[in-house]
Structure 1
Amino acid sequence: MQTLYDQKKYEQVISEAQKNTSEYGNAKLHLLWAKSAESLDEDEMAMSAYERVLMLDPDNTDVRLLLTKFYADSNRDALADEMSKSTENYQLTPAQRMSLERLKKDELQQFKASASIAMGYDSNINVSPDDLNLPEVGEEIDTIFTQFQANLSYIHDLDDKGGWYLRSDVDIFYQNNADANYYNLFAGRVNIGLGYSNDLYDILLPVSYGRINYLDRDLLESFSVDPRINYTLSESLIGNINARYTQRNYLNSIDSNRDDSVTGIGLGLYWFFNNNFAYISTNYDNYSADHSVSLRFTDKKTTRVALGMNYNVEEWFIARLDYRYRYADYDDIIEIGRGERSDDYHQTEFKMSRFLTATMEASLFYRYSINNSNYELAEYDKDIVMLDIKYNF
């Protein structure tokens, strides 16, 4: 049969397969049957034969991807969704994973959503979140907090444009601090982007708008463009190139001298093995004040390095470890004779997760961060412990 298939005698392959009932337990027979039917555009016959292959060889990821596509193309959305989700748990090459992601951009998963609630403890809430670099008062304040996060994602495949697609996302974050309401934080972000994807690479050019309410006021709004490219380097490696431009405008008159813009570029490498992955990434960002008279330490350059691993200890138990380092070089001097300010920031995170159901995940999270600086008022360390429940819709 293989010889007949190689000679492109597809009807004879199907005829021989139908007659050879003693070999119906052989997955290869049904695979040649399916490929021959597919070559003859007999989609229903091909689909049925691929299903028989999967019954005999359920770990055949190539057939799983083919069946997902057949189901999606024939509007069997429930079957396509089920096959897609079950295939995610298998060891896939980066090319296979990109193919699966492309299939998800079809009608079967145009809309996705997730929401999580968490409770935790922060040993030093009086530290600016992320890279805001707001003035610290020096006093350590610990607090219990509750946290809510939600994400909505919509992908529309532009069928007449080949691999082109549109993607939009909405992210919401809210944290309430029981003993420090002044530091309650609300952040929202909306983005929309044009992308192109095939089996080798995925390109996305998103533009976004974000807003933050913090320190009892509408603090800032931001406009960003964040292009990125993911590229398959080998069966187990994916590379990433990304860039960033962000304009941040502070909304209160007392903060007006903090307006700045950020430009940056980054590289990343991801290694997939079994159902696990490891990564390393680096980013360089330049922060530039918008006003000639600006808040001290607004102008700066940062270099970030991050590495980590996500490992499935058991089928139902996942452990993740991440380390992040950031070096910040400021343009302003601390005081005459002491030179310019520089910071070394270290952050270590450990997370244990367990899937309670197919769509619900519980996680225990610990983070330790420390900032060393030649500017004493900027030095701090903090611990965060958090229990999180996440639901995927």
Structure 2
Amino acid sequence: MSADRKDDHIRLAAGQQDDPVRRRGYDDVEIIHHALAGIDRDRVDLSVAVGPWTFPAPFYINGMTGGTDTALAINRALAAAAARTGIPMASGSVGIALDHPEAASSFTVIRDENPTGLVFANIGAGRSVDDAKRAVDLLSADGLQLHLNSVQETVMPEGSREFSSWLGLIEDIVAGLDVPVIVKEVGFGLSAATLGRLRDAGVRIADVAGSGGTDFAKIENDRRGGGHDDYSYLNGYGSSAVQCLLDARTEDFVGPDSAPDFTVLASGGVRHPFDVVKALALGARAVGVAGTFLKVALDEGPDGMVTALETWQARLGEMMAMLGAQTPGALEHTDLLIRGESGEFARLRGLDPATLAVRSREAR
């Protein structure tokens, strides 16, 4: 059942990437162009510090899959490209390998193909400290992604509905592991209040992982087969990465108790390097990409993935030079117009989006 479910996830997730009308929060973000703001491309430094690591560029391959022969081929392509480019990579959830050791090779191929690169293991938030340690050991991982997926579990026919222990388990895992922990959603977003609870539990890196990309509620509902057992009313549920990054600026998170060393990452529906630029401008330290790279890995293999990763690095450098941003962090001085649903979200959450439209003036 688990292996069949994993292959269903790959098929349905890949199909969602072809939806031309899906709304993305990044489309609500407009960068005000200042035609004389640019700098020389060779002054741009793409590298960024995330926890104890330095990423060569402000994006990474986010957790996707594992547990089947199809997933093994995808992870081999992704890991081989990560090794050749230095881009960090997270695995899909290794829970299936912890429960069924025969599935482990579809995950360990990541480290086999990328023996010295930056690799993150991934498990669900309902797992124990011992499971977390086993996940890290399986991949000789540099860090652990701990994913929150209560919406997916709710719609999943065989899912768990026991969520009250998650925060305590997260706190135990953060304290019990020798590697950093990155807590992430799976596509429904982390609110400012949730970021605050994670911060108070000792977490120092979180990926808001908003809606607009792979919709796991829709995937699990499609597996149900419709009829009276339908959950289609939850399709599109959650907050986009843009909304989450805006929310992270509100008092629910950035109040007097906010940890200065807390790092916010973003993912969810990232289609191209310009979406990365917008997320960085909204305060993300780095940006995870999954569904877009899944299609490349499936259709073009490792060589296509290398080309894609190198192209994304080149385009990011060029756009940062155009915008006058010498580093990814400098993009937080760009002037942004937040329109549409994201602008309304910001206002309803107590944030005046107009403050983001004059940041370059304040930086002078």
Choose between structure 1 and 2: higher strand proportion: 1
TM-score normalised by structure 1 residue count? 0.28
Choose between structure 1 and 2: higher helix proportion: 2
Higher relative contact order at CA 8 Å, sep ≥6: structure 1 or structure 2? 2
Rg larger for: 1
